[in-house]
Amino acid sequence: MAALQTLRNKPALLMSVIGGALLLFIVTLTDLNSCSNPNIEAEVNGQELTYQDFEQQVQDEENLQTMLQGSITDDQKDQIRETVWRTYIANEMVSKEADALGLSVTKEEIQNALSSVNMNALGYYMQMIQQGQMSVAQLPYAAKIMILMSMVGQPTVEGYKQFIKTADQQIAQSQKQNPEMAEAIAKIKRACLYCEKRIPQELLSQKYYTLLECGMSSNPISAQMAFEENNTSYDLEMASIPYSSIEDKDIKFTDNDLKNKYEEIKPLFRINSETRDMKFINVVVTPSTKDQETIMASVKSIEDSLKKVSDAKAVENIMKSSKTDISYNNVFLAKEAFNELSSISSALDSMSIGAVSPATVEPRDRNGIQYVNTFKLVGKKSTPDSMQVCQFAVDSKQLADSLITAVKGGDALNTLAKKYPALIQKYNAQGDTTWIETKYYVNAKAGKDSTANQYDNICQIPAGTTTYYTQTGPDGKTFYVVASVISTKASSDKYNVAIMRTPMKFSTETYNNQRRQLFEFLAKNKTIDAIEKNAPKAGYTIIEQPNLSTTNAMDIRYNIGGEGAKQAFIWAFDEAEAGNVSPVYECGKNNDQLLVVCVDAINEGKYREWDNANVRQTLEMLVKQDKKAEKIMSQTKNVKNFTAAKSVKGAQVQTMPTMSLAQITQSEPALAGVIQRIGKGKFSGAVKGITSIYMVQITNKTTGSATFKQKEAMAADAQNSFGQLFGRDGNTLFRALQNKMKIMDKRYKF
C-alpha cells in the first residue's frame, strides 16, 4: 500500500513504470511472433519460404515428372522434395550473385530458348535418354514443355501459345463428357506453366556459370607446364613405408598437439548453422519365424484350393475369400501387364492352362517389402491388340437395335448419329471410324442377356460384325454402344491369371515384443554412455551421425520415413539438450521401425570446438599420422640411394608401370613435384606423401609425340583450372556460396 501511495504522489514515476511495462510487453510479443511462426519452412538471407509455397513447388514438380515419365514411387517423391530444396537454395544464391553482377534474362531470351527446341533437338534429347546419358529430369525446361506439347498438339512455340490460350476452354468442354481427358489437359497446362516459370532462372544460372568459366584464364607458362604433365611419362622404382606400419600405441601426443593441428585445419570444422552430434538406435521390425510360417500356410491353402477348381467362377469365389493384394477380375491381359511381377511373367509361357505355381517367397522390392505368392493360369486366348471400329452410344436397347438394322441396310453410323445431337453430347461418341487398342480380353458375363448380339465389351466383337455392347454410366444406369468392327490386327496371346499375393508382414505380437524389449533396455540404460556400452550385448547397433544440421538430417528422416521420424527430429532440434536420450518413436514408411535418438553434443558458433568428441577423433588421427611421418623421415634421413632405400625396415619395394606426371599428381601431389624436379637415374630421397613416406628413382622418362599448341593448351588449362576450383558438377562453388548465406532450414518440422 505504501508503494502504491508513493506512485500516486509521483505521477511522472507512475507513467514511466507503466511505459516501461508496456514497452517490455511489446518487445516480448514481437520476439515471440518473429520466432514462432509455425508456417515458415525456411529462411534464406532473411527471405521467408512458407510451407504452402514449398509444398506447391514440390507438387508442381511431382505433377511434371508424372506427366513426363508416368507414376512415381514414394522414394522418387522424397528425391523430388530434396531436388526442389536444393534448386531453391541454388536459385537464391545465383540470383544474389547475378544481381550484384548486373546479370538478367530478357523475354526475348526466354522466347529463343523455347524456339531452339525443334524436332531435331527433341530427337537428340530422346536419344540421350534412351542411351542412359541423360534423365528426363535433366532436360532443359523448354524441352520439357515441347515434350508435353507433343502429347496434345504441335511441339512448337506457336502450338504452345495456342494450347495455353485454349486449354481452359478444352477443359470446360471435356468436363462432362470425358472428365479424364479434362483432368489430363489441366495437368499438362499446369506442368507447362511451371516449366515456363522455371526457364528464366535456368537461363540466369547458365549465364552466371558461363561468366565464371569465361573469367578463368591461363597463360603460356601455365599451359606449357600442364601440357608437359600430360605428355611426359615416367618409369619408377619405388620404396614406400606406410604410416600404418607404425602402431598407434607407439605414438605419444598432448592436447597442445591437438590444439595446434586444430588451428592449422580449422576451416574443415566450419559450421554454417547450429548442428548436433547424434547417435541412433534404429530397430527394423521383421516377421518372426512363426509369422512367416503362418503367412506361408495361408498362401499354400489358397494354392491347394486353386488346384481343385477349373472354371473362372469358382476361381473368382476362392480369390474373393483370400487376402490377396491383387484382385481377380476374370480378364485376359497381354504378357507385358505382368512385367512388374517378373516371376509370374517369366513363367506364363511354360505353364499349361489350369496349372498352379507353388507358393514362393519373392525377393524384397524397392520399398523393402517381401511378398509370398502363388498363381493359377485360368485361361489363354489369342486376340487382336487393335480394332478399327465405329461406335455410337444410346440410352435404349430399342434404339440400338434400330441403328444396327439401318447400318446393316447400308447407312453409315456417323450419318445416323448426327440425328441425335443430345446423345453425341452426352456420350461423346459420333460414330466415326477409329483404331483403338485392345490389349486385353473380357469374357461376356453369363446369363445377363439371352439376345444373340449382346456383349459386355468391344473386345468381344468379331471383325465384320455390327452389334452393340453394354456399359454402365456414372449414374449406375446401363447404356448401349452400337459398334461396327471393321477390321483387327496384331493378334497376341492374352492370359487370364489369378494371383494370390500377400506381404510377408510381422504380427502385432512380434512388433509388441520388439517394442517391449527396447523399452526394457532403455529403462536399464538411461545415459548415452550406458547405451553405447551395452547396446551390442542387447543386439542393438549404434549409428553415429556427427555434426548433423537440420538440412542433412532430412536424408535420414526420408530414409526412415513416417510421422514418428518427423517427431523424433523435432524433439532433437527443438527440445533436447546435450546428453539427452529420446523416448522410443514408432516410425517407418511401412510402420516397421523403432527409433531412439541420443543428442551427444550441440555445436554452436562458426566452428566445432577442438574438444568435440568427433573433432578430437579426427585431430588424433591426423596428429598420429604426422608423428609417424616424422619418425619415418628421421629413420630415412641418411638414405642416399635406392639400394639403401630397399633395405630400410618396413619398406615396400615395387616397380611402377609407366605413368604420366598428371596421374601421379592426382594421387600424391608432393611426390609428383619431386619427380618433376629430378632427372633420369636420380634418387628422390624421402618424400612425405598422403599415406606413406616415398623414396623413388626414375629409370626412364618419355616425352609423347603430341605437339604443343599454345592457344588450345591455354583453353584446356583454363577449363581444367575451373573444374579444380569450382568442381566438375559445380558442387564446390555451391558449397562456397552457401557458406556466405544465412540459411535456416526448418523442413524437419513438416
674-687 pLDDT, tens digit per residue, is 988 888 888 999 99
pLDDT-derived band of residue 293, with 50, 70 and 90 as boundaries? very high
pLDDT at 226: 85
**pTM: predicted TM-score of the whole model, two decimal places:** 0.71
The rounded mean pLDDT for the chain is 86
Determine which helix (DSSP H) or strand (DSSP E) holds 283, and give its type and residue range. strand 275-284
pLDDT at 260: 94
pLDDT at 605: 82
Q: Are strands 465-472 and 40-44 parallel, antiparallel or unpaired?
A: unpaired
Question: Which three cell numbers, joined as nine digits, stand for 592?
Answer: 516397421
What's the whole-number mean pLDDT along residues 247-271? 92
Of residues 256, 309, 325, 661, the one with CA closest to residue 503: 325
Q: Find where cell 434400330 sits.
A: 402
pLDDT-derived band of residue 7, with 50, 70 and 90 as boundaries? very low
- Contacts within 8 Å (CB) and 24+ apart, 94-97: 94/201, 94/204, 94/205, 94/208, 95/201, 95/204, 96/45, 96/741, 97/208, 97/737
Q: Spell 524-539 as b/e; 16+ CB within 10 A means b.
A: ebeebeebeeebeeee
What's the whole-number mean pLDDT along residues 29-53? 72
CB 712 within 8 A of CB 13: no
Between 306 and 429, name the one with better pLDDT. 306
State the Cα–Cα distance between residues 551 and 542, nearest whole angstrom: 22
Question: Is pLDDT at 200 greater than 90 in this prediction?
Answer: yes
Question: Is pLDDT at 624 greater than 80 in this prediction?
Answer: yes
pLDDT at 728: 59
pLDDT-derived band of residue 632, with 50, 70 and 90 as boundaries? very high
pLDDT-derived band of residue 37, with 50, 70 and 90 as boundaries? low
pLDDT-derived band of residue 474, with 50, 70 and 90 as boundaries? low
Can you say whether residue 603 is alpha, beta or left, with left for phi > 0 and alpha for psi between -120 and 50 degrees?
Answer: beta
Write out the DSSP string of 594-629. Answer: EEEEEEEEEE-SSB--TTSHHHHHHHHHHHHHHHHH
- State which fold the 287-505 domain adopts: Chitinase A; domain 3 (3.10.50)
- Rounded to 10 degrees, the C-alpha dihedral 405/411/412/415 comes to -100
CB 256 within 8 A of CB 623: no
- Rounded to 10 degrees, the C-alpha dihedral 550/553/558/560 comes to -130
CA distances to 334, 335, 378, 491, 664 from 381, rounded to whole Å, are 10, 11, 11, 10, 66
Neighbour-count burial of 477, counting CB atoms closer than 10 A to its CB (0-12 exposed, 13-18 middle, 19+ buried)? exposed
State the Cα–Cα distance between residues 557 and 589, nearest whole angstrom: 10
pLDDT at 36: 52
pLDDT digit string, tens, across residues 591-613? 899 999 999 999 988 888 998 88
State the Cα–Cα distance between residues 569 and 577, nearest whole angstrom: 13
Question: Is pLDDT at 288 greater than 80 in this prediction?
Answer: yes
- State which fold the 220-265+614-708 domain adopts: Chitinase A; domain 3 (3.10.50)
State the Cα–Cα distance between residues 738 and 551, nearest whole angstrom: 12
pLDDT digit string, tens, across residues 333-385? 888 888 888 888 888 888 999 999 999 998 888 777 889 999 999 999 888 88
pLDDT at 12: 46
Q: Quick check: helix, strand or coil at residue 364? A: coil
Question: Is pLDDT at 3 greater than 50 in this prediction?
Answer: no
Question: Which three cell numbers, joined as nine digits, stand for 235?
Answer: 618409369
Of 268-272, 411-415, 504-508, give the range with the top mean pLDDT.
Answer: 504-508
CB 146 within 8 A of CB 155: yes
Question: Is pLDDT at 556 greater than 60 in this prediction?
Answer: yes
Lowest average pLDDT, out of 27-31, 46-50, 91-95, 341-345, goes to: 27-31
Q: Quick check: helix, strand or coil at residue 576? A: coil
- Contacts within 8 Å (CB) and 24+ apart, 620-624: 620/253, 620/258, 622/261, 622/265, 623/253, 623/257, 623/258, 623/261, 624/248, 624/251, 624/253
State the Cα–Cα distance between residues 746 and 750, nearest whole angstrom: 8
Write out the DSSP string of 530-549. Answer: HHHHHHHHHT--EEEEEEE-
pLDDT-derived band of residue 439, with 50, 70 and 90 as boundaries? confident
Between 2 and 243, name the one with better pLDDT. 243
Distance of alpha carbon 643 from its chain centroid, rounded?
56
pLDDT at 708: 87
pLDDT at 22: 43
pLDDT at 538: 96
Output the CATH code of domain 275-286+507-603: 3.10.50
Distance of alpha carbon 368 from its chain centroid, rounded?
16
pLDDT at 198: 95
Q: Are strands 465-472 and 454-455 parallel, antiparallel or unpaired?
A: parallel
pLDDT at 34: 40
Instruction: Walk across the sheet containing 40-44 and list its strands.
Output: 47-50, 40-44, 743-745
pLDDT at 247: 92
pLDDT digit string, tens, across residues 107-147? 999 999 988 887 788 788 878 877 778 888 888 999 999 98
pLDDT digit string, tens, across residues 643-685? 999 999 889 999 988 888 888 888 889 998 898 888 888 899 9
pLDDT-derived band of residue 238, with 50, 70 and 90 as boundaries? very high
What's the whole-number mean pLDDT along residues 185-196? 94
Beta strands in 26-103 (DSSP E): 40-44, 47-50
Read off the amino acid at residue 671. L
